[in-house]
Amino acid sequence: MAVIALHCPQHTVTVFDINKKKVAEWNSDQLPIYEPGLLEVVQQARGRNLFFTASDIDRHIAESEIIFVSVNTPTKTFGQGAGRTADLQYWEKTARMILEHSSSDKIIIEKSTLPVRTAQAMENILNTNAKGLHFEVLSNPEFLAEGSAIQDLENPDRVLIGGHDTPGGKKAVQTIVDLYANWVPRERIITTNLWSSELSKLVANAFLAQRISSINAISALCEKTGADVEEVAYAIGMDSRIGPRFLKASVGFGGSCFKKDILNLVYLCESQGLPEAAAYWEQVIRMNEYQEARFVANMVSAMFNTLAGKRIAVYGAAFKANTSDTRESPALAVCRGLLAEKAELVLCDPHALENARLDLGDDARLVTFEINPYIAAEGAHAIAVLTEWEDFTRLDYKRIFDSMVNPSFIFDGRNILDRAKLFEMGFNVFSIGKEPLLHFNQHPTE
Ligand code: UDX
């Protein structure tokens, strides 16, 4: 919304949220999320045509011509479809609230990621009204990635708008095309029917996650055979049909979208009587869980089959670099695995410690949170690098090695460190999809 406000000074954008604390933060220079470049965009538009508010929802709804609904749609935790499909209660409440306070026709946009055909349900709620009002529901999924959100919004590969093939639907779609055309080239704004647009969002994320699970499956094989997963990824990525992006083997993928959207897709396939298609996509998630569990298992076996009482410095809590977000972070999954082994954890992250503490819940009591990576590693038996923050590549690892317990181990879950140099310093080095570099005669897992 901030980027829309920046590029469309002729429109007024009001962002409403029920969380007063968050709204206060959006109105300050301490935004509630860490996202490079966002503050600058907000500062340019805020107070001009961008407003954040937690009050007067009735008036804001009444005055708006277009409403983007971006409420959360977490995975349902109860009843039918629990653990798989999206919980639509917030979406439905919002639709009913819009209806209650509206006195003119409006365009309603699904910005939240939703199961296919949700728009239909919302339309039914909105258009069954005694006021004689018409609501045109469109789907406009968001493809930005965290950490590069501003770049992705400024220069998107594509903007997708789905609507009905009716005169009203076409007119509404054109209005939103014109909005984005204020800064996005027309040829990158694509329009489809509603269901294709809803489904495309789930499928895009499923394909991206599938690439990661595919290369991670190969990383396990590389560790056994002496092939190097980075060399393999490079070699296959040179094939223009495959392409080089999203082939970075890692400790696993995280974030609020991939798992949730795949579960959604799986549920959709199942509910349409397509169990084979469901099982295919579900395996992408299983492979990710395997990769996280394998990482912990490798640490245990490398460190003489016991981690109990051993201090381990965990570098990174965020699900990827340049974000404070720890939702579904593989780093926290690994932390839980290490805690189950009774390791003593010191968790270090430049921006995500606060969220990590919240996400770890009761387990947070068992973890020391330390912003300084040098202090985190003091007296540690091992370091596990779980987020690819650039900060971690610039550390003085000789100094770190000297402060650790011998033999010292480093497990690079993101392949961001110079492993040959670390080995020379004295570390036993484990990377993803590569043979370990050990100062022992024997492979410790054998
Ligand atoms: C994703 C989609 O990219 C975006 O289009 C959609 O709108 C939301 O979901 P995001 O979750 O912010 O975005 O992050 P993304 O960059 O896709 O990374 C997801 C996870 O995959 C991270 O944990 C990342 O570290 C991991 N990853 C990514 C890999 O392990 N290897 C890769 O090659 C790429």
Closest CA to 264 of 96, 137, 112: 112
Question: What are the C-alpha distances in Å from 150 to residues 39, 154, 258, 412?
Answer: 10, 6, 20, 29
Q: Measure CA 219 to chain center.
A: 22
Instruction: Compute, in angstroms, the gap from residue 426 CA to the centroid of ligand 1.
Output: 33
Residue 420, pLDDT > 70, answer yes
Residue 444, pLDDT > 50, answer no
Q: DSSP labels for 176-188?
A: HHHHHTTTS-GGG
State residue 72's pLDDT score.
85
Looking from the CA of residue 143, the nearest atom of ligand 1 is 7
Which residue has the CA at smallest separation from atom 16 of ligand 1? 145
Cα separation, 296 vs 411, in Å, equals: 10
Give the residue, 49 or 130, on which the prediction is more confident.
Answer: 49
Closest CA to 324 of 36, 78, 56: 36
Instruction: Compute, in angstroms, the gap from residue 424 CA to the centroid of ligand 1.
Output: 33
Pocket test for ligand 1, best of 160, 250, 256, 295 (most atoms within 8 A of CB): 250
Closest CA to 288 of 353, 220, 352, 356: 220
Please compute the mean of the pLDDT values over residues 292-314 and round it to a whole number: 98
- Output the pTM of the full model: 0.93
State residue 291's pLDDT score.
98
Q: Is 389 in the pocket of ligand 1 (CB under 6 A)?
A: no
State residue 443's pLDDT score.
53
Q: What is the pLDDT of residues 56-72, one digit of tens each?
A: 999 999 999 999 999 88
Q: How many helices (H) and strands (E) does the chain have?
A: 17, 13
Which residue has the CA at smallest separation from atom 6 of ligand 1? 143
Residue 130, pLDDT > 80, answer yes
Q: Is 280 in the pocket of ligand 1 (CB under 6 A)?
A: no
Instruction: Compute, in angstroms, the gap from residue 443 CA to the centroid of ligand 1.
Output: 33
Cα separation, 410 vs 400, in Å, equals: 11
What element of type H or E holds 20? helix 20-26
Residue 88, pLDDT > 80, answer yes
Cα separation, 344 vs 338, in Å, equals: 8
State residue 122's pLDDT score.
86
E-strand ranges in 307-366 read 311-315, 344-348
| Burial degree of 271 (CB within 10 A; 0-12, 13-18, 19+) | middle
Q: Is 183 in the pocket of ligand 1 (CB under 6 A)?
A: no
Cis? peptide before 185, omega within 30° of 0: no
Please compute the mean of the pLDDT values over residues 242-255 and round it to a whole number: 97
Strand partners, 192: 162
Which residue has the CA at smallest separation from atom 1 of ligand 1? 145
Close Cβ partners of 14 (under 8 Å, ≥ 6 residues apart)? 51, 52, 53, 60, 64
Cite the DSSP H helix spans in 46-184: 57-63, 89-101, 118-127, 149-154, 167-180
* 257 annotated active-site: yes
Structure tokens at 309: 């009482």
Which residue has the CA at smallest separation from atom 15 of ligand 1? 145
Instruction: Compute, in angstroms, the gap from residue 255 CA to the centroid of ligand 1.
Output: 7
**SS3 call for 127:** helix
Catalytic residue among 222, 257, 269, 348: 257
Q: What is the pLDDT of residues 268-299, one digit of tens each?
A: 999 999 999 999 999 999 999 999 999 999 99
Q: What is the pLDDT of residues 171-218, one digit of tens each?
A: 999 999 999 999 999 999 999 999 999 999 999 999 999 999 999 999
Q: What is the pLDDT of residues 384-399, one digit of tens each?
A: 999 999 999 999 999 9
State residue 117's pLDDT score.
80
Region of 225 (left: φ > 0; alpha: ψ -120 to 50; beta: rest) is alpha
